[in-house]
Amino acid sequence: MNLHETRFDSPCGELLVVTRDGRLVGLGFADGDGRLRRSIGRRFGVAPVSGPAPADVTRALTAYFDGEIAALDGLEVNAGGTAFQQRVWRALRRIPAGRTVAYRDLARTIGAPDAVRAVGAANGANPIGIVVPCHRVIAADGALHGYAYGLDRKRWLLRHESAIA
């Protein structure tokens, strides 16, 4: 198994980029208290070794942070997870940049209108932040809630995408 980790400097903090056989399997902030590494360890049973990220991943992240928000849309990802989590994560990738959705609306989108809490839990378990844009999910009243890497980063990402003023 070719599981590699590299670091990527972004305007809102250093990212850990984890790939397996050229596909993105993890993306999170390096100062995230080991959250991403624990997730990867549980999923694969091994820690990634240091290695370069595939050029397409690096190019897409660079373009995204340079303002080409849609640059991440074409990246291939393999987030793992349960069937329910995968449904939520696929729905997250369909939220257009510059838009936000409420947890309850996301639950409706995946055909599980009574599963708002489960949608929130799946959103929080997302191992591929930014590319699988869990930061685009907000409370029904428009408030920013629940981002594993902090509300300041969530706010930064949404402003970067022009989702909030």
- Please count the other Cβ atoms lying within 10 Å of the Cβ belonging to residue 87: 18
134 annotated active-site: yes
Is residue 130 classed as helix, strand or coil in its secondary structure?
A: coil
Neighbour-count burial of 15, counting CB atoms closer than 10 A to its CB (0-12 exposed, 13-18 middle, 19+ buried): buried
Q: Which amino acid is at 119?
A: V
What is the reported pLDDT for 146? 78
CA distance 52 to 32: 21
How many residues would you count in the chain?
A: 165
CA distance 19 to 36: 12
- pLDDT (mean) for 63-69: 94
**Catalytic residue selected from 53, 61, 92, 134:** 134
Question: CA 91 → CA 11, 51, 65, distances in Å?
Answer: 26, 30, 22
Q: CA-based diameter of the chain, in Å?
A: 44
pTM recorded for the entire structure: 0.92
What is the reported pLDDT for 165? 47
What is the reported pLDDT for 148? 84
From the list 155, 54, 43, 136, the residue with the least C-alpha distance to 89 is: 136
pLDDT, tens digit, for every residue of 122-141? 999 999 999 999 999 999 89
Round the average pLDDT of the chain to a whole number and report it: 92
Domains of the chain, first to last: 3-72 (3.30.160), 83-160 (1.10.10.10)
